A = this chain, B = another copy of it.
Amino acid sequence: MPLSQYLEDFTVGQTFGSGRLEIDANAIKRFAADFDPQPFHLDDTQAGDTLFQGLAASGWHTAALTMRLLVDSAFRPAGGVIGAGVESLQWPAPVRPGDVLEAESEVLEVRPSRSRPEQGMLKLRITTTNQDGKVVQTFIANLVVKRFVP
């Protein structure tokens, strides 16, 4: 278990891998029943007649699983993974039952706050891929990270 990292510990270009999470049809349907009840996320047969041409996970499910991969990874900012916002979230390919997802994070920017000397912003590009290496989600996250105050 690595120690917590402060803003000063991050450098542009640094990358963090993740573990892996498998997503099955039941999980896809359960998430959809709660949050995104549409035929292409709920029912194998009906999903065939939609733009997805088969059961696919809600994009918000992929986003939530990616958060889980990130929280469980070696990326451990002091104070937690706290998102101020997200830019350019895209789902270039569908997530299917049986897919195994992993996420890579790359540090794009490290910026101390002008108004709050105890914290700063970290910009990360987070890319989620399936078992074939196909990108299923990308986004840029702006995170609030503590600075090291001795």
Residues of chain A touching chain B, judged by Cβ–Cβ distance below 8 Å, are 31, 34-40, 50-52, 58-61, 63-65, 67-68, 71, 79-91, 139, 144
Stoichiometry, copies per complex: 2
Contacts A79-B51, A85-B91; A64 near B144 (Cβ below 8 A): no
CB-based contact A35/B83 at 8 Å: no
A31 partner residues in chain B, CB cutoff 8 A: 64
Known: A60-B60, A67-B58, A67-B60. A38 touches B89 (CB 8 A): no
**Bound-complex Cα distance A18 to B72 (A):** 35
Let me know if B71 and A37 touch, CB within 8 A.
yes
30 pairs of residues in contact across A and B, judged by CB atoms under 8 Å:
A31-B64, A34-B64, A34-B68, A35-B64, A35-B65, A35-B68, A36-B64, A36-B67, A36-B68, A37-B68, A37-B71, A38-B71, A38-B80, A38-B81, A39-B80, A50-B79, A51-B79, A58-B67, A60-B60, A60-B63, A60-B64, A83-B91, A84-B90, A85-B88, A85-B91, A86-B89, A87-B87, A87-B88, A87-B89, A89-B89
